[in-house]
């Protein structure tokens, strides 16, 4: 059984969030520590700890999450934004429930740190 995370608690409604989008497959809410004027997290309702734990059967879900990031960016009035999935601790993942960051509203440099 996958471990309880802060995001599974947000999905259950036991921890509040500033919701920006919701459907039967995912939930999106503002990051509590925004790194840019717009910083939103999109999470699947299905518990998948990390991108490396996703399988072939999650293909449609993963595609849906990407399209949702685009829909939300549009909703937020962003013309340019970055979609980030940190996978594993050394890559910066701190919450082990798959999530896509939508970061925008300022110029973003490359490469990332
Ligand atoms: P990661 O570092 O795993 O890619 O991203 C986790 C993100 O979740 C971080 O940007 C962090 O600020 C955000 N976060 C952690 N706890 C909470 C919370 O309780 N509420 C919200 N809205 N964001 C959180």
Which DSSP string do the residues of the chain spell out, in sequence order?
Answer: -PPP-HHHHHHHTSS---EEEE-SSEEEEE-SS-SSSEEEEEEESS--SSGGG--GGGHHHHHHHHHHHHHHHHHTT-SSEEEE---SGGGT--SSS--EEEEESS---SS--
Residue holding tokens 């890559």?
91
Going by alpha carbons, the residue nearest to atom 24 of ligand 1 is 32
pLDDT in tens, 64-73: 999 999 999 9
Q: What is the pTM of this model?
A: 0.97
In tens digits, the chain (113 residues) has pLDDT values of 567 999 999 999 999 999 999 999 999 999 999 999 999 999 999 999 999 999 999 999 999 999 999 999 999 999 999 999 999 999 999 999 999 999 999 999 999 98
Q: Which of 12, 94, 112 to mutate to test the pocket of ligand 1 (most atoms within 8 A of CB)?
A: 94
99 is catalytic: yes
């Amino acid at each position: 059984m996958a471990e309880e995370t802060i995001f599974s608690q947000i999905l259950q409604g036991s921890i509040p969030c500033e919701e920006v989008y919701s459907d039967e497959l995912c939930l999106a809410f503002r990051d509590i520590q925004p790194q840019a004027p717009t910083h939103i997290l999109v999470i699947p309702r299905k518990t998948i700890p990390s991108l490396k734990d996703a399988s072939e059967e999650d293909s449609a879900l993963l595609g849906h999450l990407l399209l949702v990031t685009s829909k939300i960016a549009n909703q937020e009035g962003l013309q340019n934004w970055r979609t980030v999935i940190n996978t594993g601790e050394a890559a910066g993942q701190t919450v082990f429930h798959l999530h896509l960051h939508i970061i925008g509203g300022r110029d973003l440099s490359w490469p990332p740190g």
